[in-house]
Each structure stands twice: as structure tokens, then as C-alpha cells.
């Protein structure tokens, strides 16, 4: 083979062009694949956010209808005003069975100020008298208007609604609260989309002892240290998973 | 299926016709029957106990024969 022959030079040029072409095409395909993957991932996250908002709005609306019907009930208001826990429990417990099947996992009555405390927990009647001091409690106490939101509390992370209860004379007798655990939303999202979801919380905003206590009360493994030295690749924050496994 | 939902519609009509406080009446029905009207839909299963309770409550609260 003569290295300086025209044939060799043409072959070399053609091989060079082929390699350049193939390499260029591969790089283009790789870039396009990465771009499409990013776009799909972003769209998937956005769709999940939209779905979560829709589910949240639907459940909040449901809790609103339930709350309104009960907060305006004279028997409920009278029992709360009289601090008659037994009467309040007998009035409301039959209804709690239905609400549980509708996904309302937490139902509480609070006393009015001063010393706003839990008067009755329908989901745990034996436990009462504690002051929760959560943001939503302070807000409803400050505004005396219905407050809705998502909050992490002893019974878990839930979408909640707290509404004041007044007697026929317009005096505040206490508060009624409904909550629906977020875990139910996550399961519903999975059943609708087929995707897996998890919830990450920034440890900066979580009290260590609180997490241990709630884990114990919910029979959940205390997984605080599982992610203690790692960073979430998604949020770049020290995180803890509220759900140790994905929704199934 | 549909009996409880039809009861709900009849009660809502009666509330409207009599100009009653809808939330208060719904609350009373809820406590008496153990079922909240807001959560009754056309697909809600009819159970005889709830049907009987709704009939009784409608008669007592609204003088309505369902």
C-alpha cells in the first residue's frame, strides 16, 4: 500500500469524514436525548404538582362542607360550650365512621382561648387536654376565621382545616378541625398516574425530638439518621423522607 | 343505588322551598343519621339502616315524607 497514492488519500479523507459524521450524529443524539429527558422530567413534576393541587382543593372543599354543617349545629356548639365531652363524643362519633371512609383521618375539637387546647379527638378520644400551639392554631385564634393548610403535627403530615364554632348568641365556644393525611393523596396520585412519589422534608424545619415522638406514636421507624449525612440530589438540602418507602 | 341520593335531593329542595339554613339542616341530618348529605353522591351505596334513619329524620326535622 502506497501511503501517498491518491487512492489512499481519498480513502483517508472519506474515513475521516465518516468518523466525524458518526461522532457528530452520536453527540447530537445524546444531547437531544438528555434534553428530552429533562423536558419529560420537568413536565412530569409539573403534572404531579398540578394533580396534588387538584386533590388538595377537592379534599379541602369536602372538609369545608363537613365543617360548615357541624360548626353551625346548635347541639355541637352547646356541648362544646358546656365542655361536655361525653355528649360531644356521643353526638359526633357515629358520623366519624363515615368520615373515615371518606378519607378524613383526623377530627378534633379545641377549646376557645385562653388556653386553647384539644377538647376531643374523635380519632383518639382517650387523649385530650394538650395544647398544640401549631401555626394554624395560632392563626385561627388570631383571626377567628377558617384556616386551611398543610401542617406536620403529632398525627402526621396532613391537609387541615380549622373553623371557629359559635353559639346562637354569637359567642365563640371553640374550634372544630378536620384533617386528611397526605399519604392518602400520594397513593391516589400513584393510582392515577402509575408514577412513584415520595415526600422530602428539609431537616432544618423539623425538630429532632418531635420527629422521634411522632414516629413512635405512628408506629413508624425513626429514620432520622438514614439521611443524616447525605444531601438530597433533588433539593440540595439535608432532608428526611416522610415516607420511608414509595407509595404502592 | 340512588335512594339516598334521591333523599338528599328531596331534602335540598325542601330546604330551598322553606328558606332554611342549609348548613344547619345538613348538620342536624348528619348527627341524626351518621351520614353527611354533602358526601352522598349518585354512586353512594344504599344501606337499609341509613335509609330508615333518613326517613325518620326528614319526618321529624322537616315534616317531609320520603
Which residues of chain A neighbour B28 with C-beta distances below 8 Å? 73, 75
State residue A152's pLDDT score. 79
State residue B47's pLDDT score. 87
Decide if A98 contacts B36 (C-beta within 8 A): yes
Where are chain B's structural domains?
Answer: 3-62
State residue A236's pLDDT score. 47
Which residues of chain B neighbour A99 with C-beta distances below 8 Å? 36, 39
State residue A240's pLDDT score. 55
Q: Sketch out chain A's domains with CATH numbers.
A: 51-185 (3.30.450.20), 198-248 (no CATH)
Strand partners, A30: none
| pTM for the full predicted model | 0.75
State residue A112's pLDDT score. 92
A191/A119: higher pLDDT? A119
Q: What is the mean pLDDT of residues A154-176?
A: 87
Q: Cell numbers for B8, please give them.
A: 338528599
State residue A234's pLDDT score. 47
Q: Cell numbers for A211, please give them.
A: 420527629
d(CA B60, CA B54): 10
Return the H-helix or E-strand segment holding A118: strand A118-121
State residue A237's pLDDT score. 52
Q: What's the whole-number average pLDDT of chain A?
A: 84
The pLDDT tens digits for B15-62 are 999 999 888 899 899 989 988 888 898 988 888 999 999 999 999 999
- Out of B23, B31, B35, whose CB is closest to A75? B31
Amino acid at each position: 500500500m502506497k501511503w501517498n497514492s491518491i487512492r489512499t488519500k481519498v480513502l483517508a479523507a472519506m474515513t475521516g469524514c465518516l468518523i466525524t459524521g458518526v461522532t457528530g450524529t452520536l453527540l447530537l443524539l445524546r444531547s437531544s436525548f438528555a434534553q428530552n429527558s429533562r423536558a419529560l422530567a420537568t413536565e412530569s413534576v409539573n403534572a404531579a404538582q398540578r394533580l396534588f393541587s387538584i386533590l388538595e382543593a377537592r379534599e379541602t372543599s369536602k372538609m369545608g362542607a363537613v365543617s360548615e354543617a357541624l360548626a353551625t349545629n346548635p347541639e355541637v356548639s352547646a356541648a362544646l360550650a358546656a365542655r361536655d365531652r361525653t355528649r360531644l363524643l356521643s353526638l359526633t362519633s357515629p358520623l366519624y365512621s363515615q368520615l373515615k371512609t371518606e378519607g378524613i383521618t383526623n377530627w378534633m375539637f379545641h377549646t376557645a382561648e385562653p388556653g386553647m387546647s384539644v377538647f376531643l379527638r374523635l380519632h383518639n378520644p382517650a387523649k385530650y387536654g394538650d395544647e398544640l400551639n401549631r401555626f394554624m392554631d395560632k392563626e385561627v385564634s388570631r383571626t377567628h376565621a377558617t384556616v386551611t393548610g398543610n401542617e406536620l403535627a403529632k398525627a402526621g403530615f396532613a391537609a387541615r382545616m380549622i373553623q371557629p364554632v359559635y353559639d346562637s348568641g354569637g359567642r365563640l365556644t371553640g374550634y372544630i378541625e378536620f384533617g386528611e393525611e397526605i399519604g392518602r393523596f400520594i397513593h391516589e396520585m400513584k393510582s392515577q398516574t402509575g408514577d412513584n412519589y415520595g415526600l422530602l422534608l428539609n431537616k432544618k424545619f423539623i425538630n429532632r425530638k418531635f420527629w422521634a415522638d411522632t414516629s413512635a406514636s405512628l408506629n413508624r421507624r425513626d429514620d432520622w439518621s438514614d439521611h443524616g449525612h447525605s444531601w438530597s440530589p433533588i433539593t440540595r438540602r439535608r432532608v428526611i423522607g416522610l415516607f420511608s418507602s414509595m407509595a404502592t | 343505588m340512588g335512594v339516598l341520593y334521591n333523599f338528599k335531593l328531596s331534602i335540598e329542595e325542601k330546604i330551598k322551598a322553606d328558606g332554611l339554613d342549609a348548613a344547619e339542616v345538613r348538620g342536624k341530618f348528619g348527627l341524626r343519621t351518621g351520614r353527611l348529605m354533602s358526601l352522598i353522591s349518585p354512586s353512594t351505596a344504599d344501606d337499609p339502616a341509613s335509609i330508615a334513619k333518613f326517613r325518620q329524620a326528614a319526618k321529624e326535622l322537616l315534616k317531609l315524607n320520603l
